[in-house]
Structures are given as C-alpha cells and as structure tokens.
Structure 1
C-alpha cells in the first residue's frame, strides 16, 4: 500500500505571491482608461507628462507623448484617459487649448499663467465613436443647438475678422466665426451665428451692414452721427435689421441662409427696393451739389433715389457738353410706401402719367445750406405748361421739370447782397465812429481831472452834514415837535379870524359899496307945502 504524495506548504508562498501580482497587475491595468490621439498644428505650451486634459476644470486625462507626424506637417499627442471615459469620444467631441488670450471679447485664460496651458474637452452626443481628434486653438464660439448660423458675402475691403461682434441696435447677439477669401469670385465669405432667442430677428428682409465705432454723415438730409459699442469702436463689427420701418420683416431665416454684407445702412436700405420705375429729369441749371444716392421726395416724403447724376453726359463726345439740359437718372421705389409689397412698375408709370397731366413737376431744391447738397423735389405747379411722359432720353421716359430755385440762385442773391454791402460808406461811418471815440476820450479825461480835485474828496462829508441838518429840521415838524405846535396855533387863529370876517364878506358880496355908504339908505325927504 502506497501513501499519497502531498504538496509541500512551501509552494503556497510563491502561489500566493503570484496571485497578489496578478491582482496588482489587474488593478494597475484597470486604472487606465482609453488611449486617444490628438492632432495639433503646433504644440505650443504642451509638455509630455505634464499637460492635463480637463472637463470643467476636472482632470480626466494626461498627455503622455508628443511627436511629429510623418510628413512633419503637424504634431501628434498620445493621451491617456482615466477609466469610464469611453462614452465621451464621438464625432461631436471637441478639444481646444486653454491659454492666456487677449482679444475683442476680453481677457481669458489668466488662470493658466502660473499653472500652464491645458486641453479642454467637450463631450459630444453622437453615437459614432472616435479615437482621433483635432485640437483647435480657440474654444468653440457657441453651442450649435443654441444658435442660428448664417453666411455672408462681402467685397474686398470689408475688414471683417473672426471674433467681430454681430449686433442688433447696439445689442451684441452674435459673432463672426469664420472668414475666408474666394479668389475665383474675388469675394470674402463669412460665417457667423446669432444666439437664441435673438434668431427670430433674422428674416427674409433682414439686411447686414458693416459698422464702426463712430460714424458721421452730412448730406441733403442733414447731419447724422452714430455711436456704436466700444467693442465695435476698437475692431469694427456687423449690424443687422430691417432698415426700413415701412417694410414688413418677412419669413424667418433658416440655418446657413446666405446674405450680402453691405458697406453701410443706407446701402442696405437701398437693397430692399427691388421694384423700381426709372425716369430722366432734364435739368437746365447747374447740378453741382446733386450726388448719387440723393433723395427724391414728394412733400417731404422720400419716394425714390437719384441713381446717377449726370447720366449719359459725354456719350456724344464734346458736342454733348454744349447741349442743354443735363440728364439726371432717378428711380421711384414703390416699396417704400406699401410695406415692401411687390408693385408692377407699369402701374406707377400710369399713375405718374396722370399726376404729370395735373401739373406734377420735378425740380432741384437745396437740402443742406451748409454743404450745398441738393435733392429732387416733386410738386404740383398749376401754371406749368402742359406735358406728358411720352418724351424719351436714351429710351428712358423724361419726367418734366421746372426751375426750382437751386443753389445757383441762392449764390446770385448772396452776390447781390455783397454788392449792396460794398456800396455802404464804410469809411465814412468809420470816421464818424473815430470822432465819437475821440470826444468820449476827452470827456473821460475831464472826468478824471474833476475826480482828482481835492474838493471832491470833501463832497461826501458835506453831503452828510447837510443831510443831518435836514434831518434835525424834520424832527421839529414831527407830531410832538415845537414847529408843528406853532403851525397848529397859527392855523387856529387864522380860522377864528375867518369866522369873524365872514359877516363882513357876506355884506360886501351883497353891497360892495357898504364900506363907503351906509348899509341902510335914508328915506328921501318929502317937501312940505306952504301953509
């Protein structure tokens, strides 16, 4: 009978050590998350073993290796992530470098001055997993689900860059995120976003135009000043609106709708009026002061625009310079008056034909005395000669005009005024003024001599003494003064005397000779008869 072979207890020690080693290896391997690859154009501020990957300032990974691509065109980062981060990596995941920046939007990334740059991670919601990503140099401008993205086209010289603000009535509601130049069309292409809920402000009739910090305009409409935000003052920007209050907004815009970027608000407003009726005004006087874009008004209401002044002048060579009058091309814009509704231009031609028959005429008027700017004014003239719209100039109907008292007449009136001023005897008037000034100077010297006399210094004291004496005299005539008592006694005696003389006065009134003759007349003596 053979006994079973027993395993020595000594072998339990290495077995136990192996189990511990496997467990430690498992713990070590399980402490690592997925490994991803990041691509960057330049690895500025990125250090292997030090640069962290963060989400909301919480570290979720670390750059372990920095290397160059095979073609040396960019850098490659090998990043070790922490466990349970696999679900973060998909097609919508974005990475960007956080470092100190000073831009139009302000100062950002100051916390990295001491700690160093790091890479920010923004997880995506896509179901398509991904392990290789491109690291952007700047953070994403806005959440795609919370903005309306649009495209703009502009001519060279627009001076629009990434980060420029997009504003509505000086309220920043968006930003330019992409700018590129198309050599084939020689146009700039811009991409921008409008944050929600301001996206409802962008409609079919919305127009975009360039803005600067401060803008000035001096034309026939007067002086206008526009002051925008400080951000636009420093770097410019874009503004948008429906630039004509009479125009309806239209349908809301959708993502990636393309608009034209205009040079200013007036150019954007003009682009709204797609339906026009063109006429030629033949001006007999000078058109100096009338520029392209000047308004065409009826009783102060703008209904059109001067398209070109002069128009077709010189097409016939030097002979055209001697011909009169000067053609000016104008256009009427019906959409200014009917909320942007499309109107058949032929209807306006018919309406103007009727109005011209009733005396409607065009003339040049001064819109701004400071600049001499002119505009085209429409007004009814009852005494105007009969006219119609059958005449043509270069196949365009001629709108009848009258002399409206342009700047040329004002200059002539000013010239006549200057001639009248030249006839004024200015030299004679100046001589009289000089004589009067000399007389005034002599009188002034005499007054100075009089004031310098020592007796003048005693005059205030003499006046004071006389006033005191007068005051003493008046005190005696007060209610309890001696002078007043004497006056009252004298008046009483005079009254008594008058009372006693009253009978005598009455007698004299009745018989003025009473002082000579007796008051009562004696009876006449009667002769006696002889006895």
Structure 2
C-alpha cells in the first residue's frame, strides 16, 4: 500500500514538474531574466489592448502588458487608464555596463524623449500593442499619483492623429456643401439639356450662312480678278501702242526740229548778209528787221513747242488744250 502511494506521489510530482517545464518553455516566461516594470497612463480609449499584449520598440518585442486598471478621480471627474508594462531588460544591451549587468535607466531615457503610443496590431482582429520610440518633440505629459511605477509619457499614434483630424473635420458642413454642389450641377445639366440644342441649331445655321456668304464672296472675287486681268491686259496693250507711236513721232519731231534749227541758221546768215547790203534807214532794212523778228519769234515758238513735246510727248496725240 505504501509503495502504491509512493508511486502515485512520484507520478503526480513528475506531472507537476513537466507542466512547469512546459509553461516555462512555451509560455514565454523568463524566470531568470531581469525585468523592469513601468507604467503608461492613457486618457482615452485603449480598445483592443489586453493583458499579455506585446510591448515593442520599433517593431522588436521588449515586453508585455501585465496589468490594466481604470482609475476614476471623483474630485476632477476624470478617468485615467494606467497600464503596467513588464519590460524584458535582457533584450536591451547598454554600452556602459556595470559589473557585467545591463543598466536600463528609464528616467534618463524618458528625459531623452522615450514615448509610448497605442497602435493597432491587426485590423482583422482589432488587437492593439504598445510601441516605444524616441520623439523628443513630443511633450512629456505625466500623471502624478496615477501609478507608483515610473511613468512613460504617451503620444498620439499616426492612426490616432488621422482619426483626430477626421473627427475635427466639419463633415456635416462638407456633406451639405457637396449636396448643394451636386444640386447645382444637376440644375446646370438640366438647363444645358434644354438650352444647348437650340444654341447648337443656331450655331449650325450661322455656320451655314457664313459658308454661303464665303462662297458668294469667293465667286465675286474670282469675277473681279478676271475683270482686273482683262483690264490689265488692255492697259498693257495701250501702253505698248502709245510707246510705239511716241517712238514714231519722236523721230519726226527730231527731223522737224533739225530742219527748223537749220532754217533759223540760214535765216540769220541771210539777214546778216542783207544787213550789210542795206543802209540803216532804208525800207529794205526795216522789212528785213521785221522779218528777222518774225523768224526769231517763230524759232522761239518752235523751241517752246519742242520743249513741251519733250516734257510731254502726248501733246503730239492730244495737242495743246486752250
């Protein structure tokens, strides 16, 4: 009987040891690893966060959530949610080690900008994680008295900032403006449907009239061009005939002027001879002087006529007008 009880006790003890070993090996328990506890205080919702949720630093798991409580302040009518973090110091290597033991100085890290934010681990399951990172630009808002542990200040995550911006948008006003815009577009579309066909018909009629007018103007221009070409041909022929006649008359005029000049010279010679033959008071002298004056006047007239013809050869065709 005693041997049977001993065997049962040994079996139970072996089961306990095996169970503890399984928990240690597969339950992610670090019984011999140094751990650091800290607190993160949230003022808003921590939906999706539960005990055992991972705590990461830039995607690397450095601990887990070990406790979540709700703290209500009746005096200020505010609600805070302190979350206790169990940080695994063995996952952090510090360059200035003391006696071979890593030293994680949370207050120093917080002063250098260590902040915590709530992120969504999976949009399917809705589970959340706490991510740690350095952001010196984020203000360090602390909540004294919320927890006895070292508090790591929080900051809004990207999703929270986007959610906050979306919640701040005047969605109702934007929706009303969009509805009003769509209504205006609909009215404009209806007006275009009613006014556009007559306008298109009017434009089409105007275009056809302009086309007809252009064709008529083109035909008129072609007719004018033909008449101008005919007139230019007549003018050219007339100019050629006038040049030819002027050339013919010019030769006759040169012969006439030469003959007149020769006659004047002969008359002067004759007068010179007659002057020597007659006396100063004789009748013949007087007649000769009169004849000389007439010849001189005739020569002057011929020279004037010759000069006029040289300046205007058309006088041979038209003659002098009174």
Structure with more of its chain in strand, by fraction: 1
Query: Is TM (by shorter chain) over 0.5?
Result: no
TM-score, normalised with respect to structure 1: 0.29
TM-score, normalised with respect to structure 2: 0.45
Larger radius of gyration: 2
